A and B are shown apart, each in its own frame.
Chain A
Amino acid sequence: MAPPSPRRPGFSRRAQYSLFMGYVAAIVGALAGLLLIVTARFDPTGHAALQSFFTDIFSPVSSVARSVGAGIGSASEEVGAYFDAASKNRDMKRQLDAARRDLITGKNDALENRRLKRFVHLVERLPKGIVTARLVSSTGTSSRRYAILAAGSRDGVVNGQPVRTLDGLIGRIVQVGERSARVLLIIDGGNIVPVRRVPDGVPAIAYGLGDGRIDLRPLAAGTNPFKQGDVFVTSGTGGIYQPGIPVAIGIKHNREGTLARPLADPASFDFAIVEPEFVSPPPSPSVEGSKK
């Protein structure tokens, strides 16, 4: 015989009603959940405010946990480094030689650059980073790629600002709470960054794929000009991201686009810099306008 169950209340009116009300509450609540999802779609700001209220409450907990985790991570890295010290040493010597050669070329280029800028009276005013904070956690179970930053409106973080490390771009702020903010990583499937290839400035669009890689699509139709090893930086087109932040390096050439790896490894970054939103300068006045 099946065990007696409160789901089969028998003749008790009270039990019948309470069971019925339970079902009503469940269905009404599920509909309320659906309504909340609809608000997330049609009123993202309101929904984000609600979400950041809750994230705020719990961000100190994960902030502490993060620093402990970072300690453990670096310890295991150091143990690993001990074992392949010899081969690493050889590698580093080779890299050092290459870097020295590049440095000289770079210095030369910088000089040339300064000279050319003076020549065309171009002054670049790029604002400095404003907030430096820890990335404390991320949404590993969801199909979206968000990270939680341990700084919020109290520290001057504003919605829409780009977030980077010294290595490259991480993403942009999509939600700001009082003490925490949510960062949409560039590897998220919903994130699009306008980029250009480093030496020659061929423009492209970087789409996140959602699995840690980035898809780079050239703007020009036809064959894909990007190769493995090409480095891409933000182009600044359309604002938000300042030009010149490193984004990705190509790893696999396809016919339509190139798969790339983000230059700032999300798993290793700890401190992130929040920069002011970049506003692209208005088009320069025409020659006639400037004369009068």
Chain B
Amino acid sequence: MARHPRSRIGRTPSLTQRQAVPIISTMIGSLTPLLPIIATAPVMPPWGLLIMLAWRMLHRNLWPVWMGLPLGLFDDIFSGQPLGSAMMLWTISLLGLDLLDRRMVWRDFIQEWGIAGGLIIAMLLSQLLVSYATGGATNPLFLAPQAILSVLAFPLIARICAAIDDWRLR
């Protein structure tokens, strides 16, 4: 008997679709510094990081812990930070989330938002330290608007990732 064309029963999406969609969406987030905007202050949220965290929060077993290395390296190429900084920091944050998963097995969204917000702020500050080590001298207070914007943007990114996820597993 012929199946209905839109039937989802007994059908699984291909492995490529399942694996590539989160990776490519994170990479697109990392590409935002290519946008034709000459920013005079650090205001743009680190979209790549936000998207990576959103995927990680959505499916905690989606990626092995070393996934932060290639994704972070890709982010470093465009972010203007020295190569290796996001590579290191993203991997450390994934390792930290792994440890946290053993303590807090069940989490609601507010808790995930809190965790992600803390990680985002920690990440912005450590990136500032990295830039100090390589010659920058920006006042930490100037990061406040970016930090607030990034934390507030996380739920939006999480919703977008959930919508993409729905399509990904269709």
Q: B138 and A143: CB pair below 8 A? A: yes
CB-based nearest A residue for B48: A141
Interface assignment of A111: CB less than 8 Å from any CB of chain B? no
Q: Please give 17 more A-B residue pairs, beta carbons under 8 A apart, in addition to A30-B87, A210-B136.
A: A2-B106, A5-B101, A33-B72, A37-B82, A37-B83, A37-B84, A58-B77, A65-B35, A140-B39, A141-B79, A141-B80, A143-B127, A143-B142, A144-B138, A146-B80, A211-B139, A269-B38
CB-based A-B contact count at 8 angstroms: 207
Interface assignment of B25: CB less than 8 Å from any CB of chain A? no
Residues in B whose Cβ lies below 8 Å from that of A62: 34-36
Residues in B whose Cβ lies below 8 Å from that of A211: 40-42, 138-139, 142
* Given A5-B60, A210-B142, A143-B38 contact (CB < 8 Å): no
Interface assignment of B33: CB less than 8 Å from any CB of chain A? yes
Q: A190 and B136: CB pair below 8 A? A: yes
Q: 6 tightest A-B contacts by CB?
A: A36-B84, A139-B80, A33-B88, A210-B138, A212-B40, A69-B36
Interface residues of A (CB under 8 A from B): 2, 5-7, 22-23, 25-27, 29-37, 39-41, 44, 47, 50-51, 54-55, 58, 61-62, 65-70, 135-147, 187-190, 207, 209-212, 266-267, 269
Near A by CB (< 8 A), chain B positions 119-167 give 124, 127-128, 130-131, 133-139, 142-143, 146
Tell me the complex Cα distance, A39–B69, Å. Answer: 17
Interface assignment of B109: CB less than 8 Å from any CB of chain A? no
Interface assignment of B94: CB less than 8 Å from any CB of chain A? yes
Chain B interface: which size bin?
Answer: 35 or more
